Every structure is written in structure tokens, then in C-alpha cells.
Amino acid sequence: MEPPTVMTRRVTQHSVTPRLALGRRLALTALAAGAALLTLAAPVRAETAAKALEAHRAALEKRLQGQGFTVVTEGPFVVVGDESPTRVRSRATGFLRWTIDLLEKDWFDKQPEKIIEVWLFKNERTYRKGAKKFFGDDPETPFGYYSPDDRALVMNIGPGAGTLSHELVHPYMEANFPDVPAWFNEGVASLYEQPRERDGKLVGTTNWRLPNLQKQLRARTLPSLATMMSTSSDEFYGAEYDSYAMARFLCQYLQDHGKLAEFYRAFVADEKDRTGKSALEAVLGKELAEFEPAWRAWVLGLRR
Ligand SMILES: [Zn+2]
């Protein structure tokens, strides 16, 4: 994604309430208890899911009739777009399918529980108009956002598909790590704004967020990693420093050093520390304060 300006405002309007998170944990326990039964019923469930997806698509297509939208299914999502029908279909079967497959293979065992719509608007004008008309939203970002309440990813696909791979991470993270802190949710999402496939795995490459982070590092306006990792959602989204870039390049460091998957597993398992600090120290084999200078030097040495 190559946006016209460096953006430090939030990309996602995201809220997962503790009540919902608890509900999901209870649901997971029930699923685990009935695992054997569900395994036997898997083909039936897949067929039911496919029918529900098609019914959702048909209903949405009917609702949008005559307004210039194409509506297609790309499991587990329904894709809606105002580009040409050919373009909408190729985005769904191409980039979207590729990203879903790699995210599910590398990262996430569970798909989002409910059907989620992926709205792809051709430019910022139709994106803002559509966000208002269909969801009553005035987006804070020109790129896109995930609305858990509307079960929709709403985005301007004009600047590039990086917004789509970013936003896709959020519903998967919500389903698999319900009490994920904002820094890790946005760090991983931002990592995949410039995705590549390497040895069958999804890899995030150095992107447009680097220069601003380097600038803030040199100006010594960044807090410590420990402080950034301890932010609440409000603190993270309202930060005066570039919290997105800081979280992103911590995730990229771990990825580039072969430790991101291990960290994710340790983080999810560590219910006592939802900042991720103890999991990170365990994976790095050193204290955060000791690691931080190496991370800062690594960021300053990166080139786009
Ligand atoms: Zn995001």
C-alpha cells in the first residue's frame, strides 16, 4: 500500500467487549467438549456454512440491486464491490483467497464465527459515501476499517490491496485471540500491509511506515517497548507517537528472526500477562530492557 501521506491515526475502528470475549471462551469450551461429535459432523457443517454464505450473498445482492455493486462469495466471506464485475471477482478469487489461505495455514485455526462482509470501494469518494450510507460511519481513515458490530470490513481498495490484507487480520484475531491487546492486533495487521509468500508462508516486508518510525527513534520521542506493549486500546489508538509503526516493526523483527509464530503461541497461552511482555522475554531469552537497544539499532538499519 502506498498511501499519499504517512498516517498515524487508527486504521481500525475496533472494539471487542470483555463480555463478548468471555462468551467466545465459553463457546470454545463447549466446542472442545463436543469435539468428537463435531468431527463426525464436519461435512454436514461445511455444507450448511456454504448454504448460509450463498443465502447471505443473494440477500445482499437483492438489497443492492441497481446500485452498481457486484456481490460474490469467497468463503468464509461475502465480497461486495463497486468496481467492474470482473475486477471484483478477480480480487476475491485472487488476492483475497491467497491471503485467507496463508493466514489460515500459518496463523489461525478458527475462522470468524459469523459471516463477514468485505466491502471494496473503488476510491475514497465512494468509500466515504458507502460507509455513511450503509453503516452510518464517518471513517477517521482514508483506507479502511473493521466494524465488528456490522460484521464488515469496509475499505477503499483504490490505493492498493494492502488495506485488505491488513483488515483481514482483525476478524481472524478476534476469533482466535479474543482478548488480544490493540498493539499486537494492529502490529500483525500492519505487518501484512505489504505481504509476500516465501516458502509457502505469508511474510510482511518493510513498508511505508518505516521512515516515520526512524524519524521518531532519532528524535527520541518513542516510549520504551514495555510502555507501548502496556497500552490500553484507547492509549494505543490515541498515542502521540507512531504506535502502529512501533508495533509493526516489533512484529517484523520477530518474523525476520524466525520467532513470530513462537511468540504468538506463547502470548495466547500466557493468560496472566496480556501485555505480551513475559511471553516476549521467554521467547527472546532475555529481558525486554536488554533487548530494546538491539531492536532500535535493527530498525535504524532497515531500508525500504
Ligand atoms: Zn487495523
Q: How confident is the model at residue 124 (pLDDT cuts 50, 70, 90)?
A: very high
β-pairing verdict for 152-156 and 144-147:
antiparallel
Q: How does the average pLDDT of the chain come out, rounded?
A: 89
Q: List, by residue range, all CATH 1.10.390 domains of the chain.
A: 180-304
DSSP state of 304: -
Type of residue found at 272: K
Q: 18-22: which pairs have CB atoms within 8 A and are 24 or more residues apart?
A: 18/179, 20/178, 21/178, 21/179
**CATH class of the 1-178 domain in this structure:** alpha beta
Ligand 1 centroid distance, CA of 45 (Å): 30
pLDDT in tens, 12-60: 444 333 333 333 444 444 444 445 455 556 777 788 889 999 999 999 9
192, 126 Cβ separation under 8 angstroms: no
Whole-prediction pTM: 0.85
d(CA 186, CA 245): 9
> How many angstroms separate the alpha carbon of residue 129 from the centre of ligand 1?
21
User: 251 CA distance to ligand 1 centroid (A)?
Assistant: 14
What local confidence, expressed as pLDDT, does residue 13 receive?
42
Measure 190 CA to ligand 1 centroid, in angstroms: 7
Distance, in Å, from the CA atom of 135 to the CA atom of 215, rounded to the nearest integer, reads 37
Q: Which CATH architecture has domain 180-304?
A: Orthogonal Bundle (1.10)
- Cα 170 to ligand 1 centre (Å): 7
Percentage with pLDDT > 70 across the chain: 86
Q: How close is the Cα of 52 to the center of ligand 1, in Å?
A: 27
* Location of each CATH 3.40.30 domain in the chain: 1-178
For the ranges 47-51, 169-173, 208-212, which has the lowest average pLDDT? Answer: 47-51
Grid coordinates belonging to 96 = 483475497
Rounded Cα distance between 143 and 157, Å, is 7
**What's the CA gap between 187 and 252, in Å, rounded?**
9
How many Å lie between the centroid of ligand 1 and the Cα of residue 38? 32
pLDDT at 244 over 50: yes
**What pLDDT is recorded for position 41?**
63
Distance between Cα 61 and ligand 1 center (Å): 27
* 72 strand-pairing partners: 79
Give the CA-trace dihedral at 281, 283, 285, 287, to 10 degrees.
-10
What does the H/E/C string look like for 150-218?
CCEEEEECCCCCHHHHHHHHHHHHHHHCCCCCHHHHHHHHHHCCCEEEECCEEEECCCCCHHHHHHHHH
Centre of ligand 1 from the C-alpha of residue 283, in Å: 25
pLDDT, tens digit, 9 for 90 and up, residues 247-296: 999 999 999 999 999 999 999 999 999 999 999 999 999 999 999 999 99
C-alpha–C-alpha distance, residues 82 and 70, integer Å: 6
Cα(182) to centroid(ligand 1), Å: 9
Between the CA of 69 and the centroid of ligand 1 the distance, in Å, is: 25
pLDDT at 106: 87
Contact 69, 81 (CB under 8 A): yes
Distance 75 CA to ligand 1 centre (A): 21
Task: Report the range of poorest mean pLDDT among 24-38, 135-149, 203-217.
Answer: 24-38
Strand partners, 119: 80, 154
Residue 249 C-alpha to ligand 1 middle, in angstroms?
A: 14
